[in-house]
Structure 1
């Protein structure tokens, strides 16, 4: 079992940083800082992509670039849980549309963050192709 640890350091206001063994991210309100849902959506998108690229490599399908867009909406009531989250892959210069569709579908099944969020929010995963 993997154990992960990060440290968060704050000054009195909502101004701080996340420190990991490999780097740091500034958190809070303001330029070059991330808010909590930015971090969550970034974690979701990177988890999805890590699974997606692993599947693409196994299937030997290639692309020029992939953009992952994560969009979501919180509920109005407190706690403001996510109501829905959408993950969209935008593939440019892809070699196999069918293979990419399968890779996107499998990435949502294998991504533990996607599965965790799906316990509170309606989740969708789509793929779009650009030439």
Structure 2
């Protein structure tokens, strides 16, 4: 059985928000739709990676994403290109980390949705220490 999701959005002059079915409230402020989209991508991709890292027994201390999106100049202005630069520290096995991350890009629904309109790229840098 497929899982159904639901939100409620309310827009009153000067106050915009959406609520999820679990009662969480998210205020829409000065950021724009693509900020939310790229944030949703990072959250979905990380959640997918995290679940896979547990299954694949990949240990890490810190994972950071920098997500860059370039919009098309023609209408509709969907994303043209999207790059996810990942930094990871405290990895016990870099090869397994890369395999888990690559698998996450195949299973992440938002990554896969965006890949239908945008060129998707990702890199992982293990050199930085927090």
TM-score (norm 1): 0.89
Counterpart in the other structure of 2:29: 28
Give the Cα–Cα distance (whole angstroms) in 1 for the partners of residues 23 and 42 of structure 2. Answer: 19
Q: How many angstroms apart in 2 are the aligned matches of 1:71 and 1:25? A: 23
1:9 aligns with 2:6: no
Which residue is 2:19 aligned to? 19
Is 2:23 aligned against 1:53? no
| Paired residues, number | 126
Is 1:123 aligned to residue 120 of structure 2? Answer: yes
SS of structure 1 residue aligned to 2:60: coil
Q: Which consecutive segments of 4 or more residues in structure 1 shift more than 6 A?
A: none
Deviation at residue 88 of structure 1 after TM alignment: 2.2
Distance 2:85 2:50 in 1: 14
Instruction: Give yes or no for the alignment of 1:88 onto 2:85.
Output: yes
In angstroms, what is the RMSD of aligned CA positions? 1.4
Q: Which runs of 5+ in 2 are unaligned?
A: none
Corresponding position of 1:104: 101
Cα separation, partners in 2 of 1:57 and 1:121, compared to 1, 3 Å:
same
Q: Deviations over 1:69-105 (max 9, x none)?
A: 2110101122211110112221111111101111110
Q: For residue 79 of structure 1, what is the aligned residue in structure 2?
A: 76
* C-alpha separation in 2, matches of 1:95 and 1:18: 39
Residue ranges of structure 1 left out of the alignment (5+ in a row)? none
In 2: Cα distance, 1:9 partner to 1:91 partner? 38
